[in-house]
Amino acid sequence: MLILTRSIGESLMIGDDVKVKVVKNNHGQIHLGIDAPREIPVHREEVYDRIQAEQSEVNND
């Protein structure tokens, strides 16, 4: 795992197309802005896990 330190207004790039920017720090709760092409899905991890579980159920039926 890569660990980075970023301040408000600073960004990081994932590949050439995905930009993640620190927008706000509200008492330890970090707000991120994510700029990615439409064809790249972006989900919170718990949503991603639920989608994967649902797809697994469909594929096992």
Note the pLDDT tens digit of each residue in 11-58.
999 999 999 999 999 998 999 999 999 999 999 999 999 999 999 988
Q: What pTM, to 2 d.p., does this model score?
A: 0.81
* Predicted pLDDT of residue 61: 73
Give the span between the Cα atoms of 27 and 41, in whole angstroms. Answer: 28
* Predicted pLDDT of residue 16: 97
Beta strand segments in 1-61, E:
11-14, 18-26, 29-35
pLDDT at 9 over 90: yes
The DSSP secondary-structure symbol of 53 reads H
Residue extents of the structural domains in the chain: 11-60
